[in-house]
Amino acid sequence: MREHLETATGLALTAGTYSGYSLHAHEPEQGINLILSQPGISSSRVTRLSPTVVWALPEPGTELPPRERPVQLLLDDNGRTIGPLRGELFWSDPRRADAPFGIQFVDVTLEQGRQILSALDSAAREGRALPAVSPRPIEEAIVDSERIRSILKSVCVMQHQGLLRQPGRTLRVSLEYFDVAASRLHWRMEEPSARWGQAPHDIEVVGYNSAFRMRVPELEVRGDRLVTPIPRQLWRVRHRARRRVPAPAGLLARFHHPLWNELGPRERELQDVSFTGLSVLGSADDLVFPGLLLQPLELIPEYGEPLSMRGEVRYVGKPRPDGQRVIGLQVTPQTPEDEARWMQLVSQALSPDTRSGEEWLEPLWQLLADVGYPQLAGDTPEDFEQQRASFVDTSLRAAREPQLFSQAVWPSERGVEATLSSVRAWRHGWLVHQLAKRPGAPVPEVAPGRILRELHLRAMEHAQNAPDFRWLLGYVDSSVPFFERVYLSYARRHADTGEALVLPVHLWRARCDEPSGQPSDGVDIGPATAEETAFLASEIARTRPACYVEAMDLSRERLALTDATQAWHAAGLERERQVLVARREGMTVAAIVLERGPEGMNLLRMLDTARLFPLAPGGQDTYVALLDAARAWYAARNQPSFVLVSEEDDDGPLAAARLREGPGASPCLWLLSAHLLPEFLEHVSEATVGCLSSPAPKA
């Protein structure tokens, strides 16, 4: 029976997963019932249903047949009977007679599938059925006046479309002008023949990845414009964590139905895409339902080879007047090659004005040189130029490993205007780094803030797509207004939650050919033992925030950096961590954690970092000796220098270490959780808009 069941269901979801629709009948007679004819006749209320599985609640006294025996059943939908159907019985809790039970269908015919989905369509229209996999939207009431102004300013400058809703009709509108002095919003109707109608109205506008709804209790019409006051409250609704945008022109999806091959191949036009999902425009005859697996799902671009994906139906929209409906899918590339091409395709759709860095390596290198990276790195022009070959080689390798790296650029007639990269430096932590922007106006001109906004969205959305992504990190200079306004102010607002961190640090440059020359004074330096490593991890956990520990793999379980280094080594790239300790008279008094990345990955060497930790009184007195040992460790790996990230207020113990000032006047370690990233990207979109438009149009 089991073998036959697996063959019959093919690639459809198994009964234990969230397949189909949850049923919520307000009255017993409105529901769908399951009728068993053995032993005897019993009826049970259906709670979840799809063409692959049914779940039901047994009525009191219901006797279920043995699990090993196939069952026959009927579905009764207000007198409309579907069946007979066959399946295999199982229980959610076999110890309880009143526990829900399920039946995995076998050999459901095409006609029976149509009948089941027709019944579910009717139940969905009547509000009796919801997709079992449908996530709950995130809703938030925004009452802060400055935040409301910031959102509406962003909507106005970026010309996002909106909807004006009244009973029985929906009209397209846009926020044409934000009169800051008068605190008035001027709306334009996108449908010239329409009329504003009677108040009240609800107006919805779209931000980065959320919809914002405001109530308009009264109307003030000036000519063909509607003028409203700035609302005291906005409602924000977000249905998904990742942004979706219109799909590239000509992109098609092709699949065969996994249950009914007689339907033949289906080819549907894509409507929108995100890194993890897409939607197509289908019809009722596609017979898809939430939870159905489409594998393989071929994506056919207008030019180039098809991509092979695994698709899971997550949403089936209501039929439109033309009979078509939107079908939403969660998708996963089947091979690493498909993943690289899919991420490139989606990145380009999300940020069409940006490009991948490997396409512009020479202009990108010139940008970094022109904006002062040699000086920031503490290198001479000759030393910096020697990194060119490794920069090009590493960038080309990184382009083939999208699960580890992203390098975004904004090209123009001047070469490359700006760049920003992200890299998976730790198991769950991605480093945002190497931001550079050419001074002056780009050619052709671009709205202020747009370049930085699009680069941040591309680099950070790329990291957001990684399966193990939990933390975003960066080293930012608090003396730079952009970083203070965009990065640090947001993180400080959320620091109390444990999901964000702003930690002032001091960055020092240590050259390997410049040892301190100080005597060791009886200090023994060597690799940490397992016991010393465990003690160091416990001290880090005691003295540092939990987010700091998890994001940079400084817990006892991950201090060796095994997961991250294995991923990098599989890509043919270097990644390494070493813990050295200082011992005095056999007692461990301090440690230094050393990390190394591939040459050319970060020109400021922020992947070649050292961190010092005191482990006993007097441990800071050994810092100079530990740094000299670190110089020897990096030199043995052909590294000319590294960066010391100092988190201590007193730099006195480092005075004799022959260190140079590192990049940034007032650097901070900035850290943000993946949970906050969608809202942070909304914040980036609002904080990088330019000026509001000129005076309002005359009525």
554, two tokens? 């400084």
CATH topology of domain 138-238: Pnp Oxidase; Chain A (2.30.110)
The CATH number for 506-673, chosen from 3.30.565.10, 3.40.630.30, 1.10.1380.10, 1.20.1640.10, is 3.40.630.30
What is the DSSP-derived secondary structure letter of residue 359? Answer: G
Q: What is the pLDDT of residue 68?
A: 63
Residues with Cβ within 8 Å of residue 233, at least 6 apart in sequence = 141, 142, 143, 148, 214, 215
- Under 8 Å between Cβ of 603 and 391: yes
567-573 CB contacts, 8 Å cutoff, 24+ apart: 567/403, 567/404, 567/424, 568/404, 568/597, 568/598, 571/397, 571/400, 571/401, 571/404, 572/397, 573/394, 573/397, 573/398, 573/401, 573/404, 573/597, 573/598, 573/601
DSSP assignment string, 8-45: HHTTSPPTTS--SEEE--SSGGGSEEEEE-TTS-EEEE
Query: From CA 352, how far away is CA 49, in angstroms rounded?
Result: 41
CATH topology of domain 346-503+674-688: Aminopeptidase (3.40.630)
- Under 8 Å between Cβ of 544 and 612: no
Buried-exposed string 575-609: b where 16+ CB fall within 10 A, e elsewhere: bbbbbbbbbbeeebbbbbbbbbbbbbbbbbbbbbb
Q: What is the pLDDT of residue 514?
A: 96
The three-state secondary structure class of 597 is coil
- Of 516, 562, 533, the closest CA to residue 657 belongs to 516
**CATH 2.40.10.220 domain residues, the chain:** 245-345
Residue in this structure with the two tokens 């609002």, named with its chain if needed = 686
**CATH 2.40.10.430 domain residues, the chain:** 21-131
In the CATH hierarchy, which top-level class contains the domain 245-345?
mainly beta
Query: From CA 618, how far away is CA 581, in angstroms rounded?
Result: 13
Q: What is the pLDDT of residue 318?
A: 84
Q: What is the pLDDT of residue 4?
A: 36
Could you tell me which residues are beta bridge partners of residue 162? 173, 205
Question: What's the one-letter identity of residue 380?
Answer: T
How would you class 517 by CB atoms within 10 Å of its CB: exposed for 0-12, middle for 13-18, buried for 19 or more? exposed
346, two tokens? 């989606």
pLDDT average per 10 residues of sequence, the chain (699 residues): 36 50 72 76 82 85 66 87 88 67 90 93 86 73 92 89 84 91 91 83 89 88 89 88 90 95 94 95 92 93 92 88 90 93 93 92 93 83 83 90 94 94 97 94 87 95 93 97 96 96 97 93 94 98 97 97 95 95 96 95 95 97 97 96 95 95 94 96 90 45
**CATH 2.30.110.10 domain residues, the chain:** 138-238
- Under 8 Å between Cβ of 166 and 260: no
- Under 8 Å between Cβ of 364 and 356: no
User: Which phi and psi (to 5°) does residue 531 adopt?
Assistant: -70, -40
Query: Domain 21-131, CATH 3.30.1330.20 — does that match?
Result: no
Q: Give the number of other Cβ atoms within 10 Å of residue 217's Cβ.
A: 10
- Of 449, 420, 418, 450, the closest CA to residue 432 belongs to 420
Residue in this structure with the two tokens 């692959």, named with its chain if needed = 52
**CATH 3.40.630.30 domain residues, the chain:** 346-503+674-688, 506-673
Query: From CA 20, how far away is CA 660, in angstroms rounded?
Result: 63
270, two tokens? 């894509």
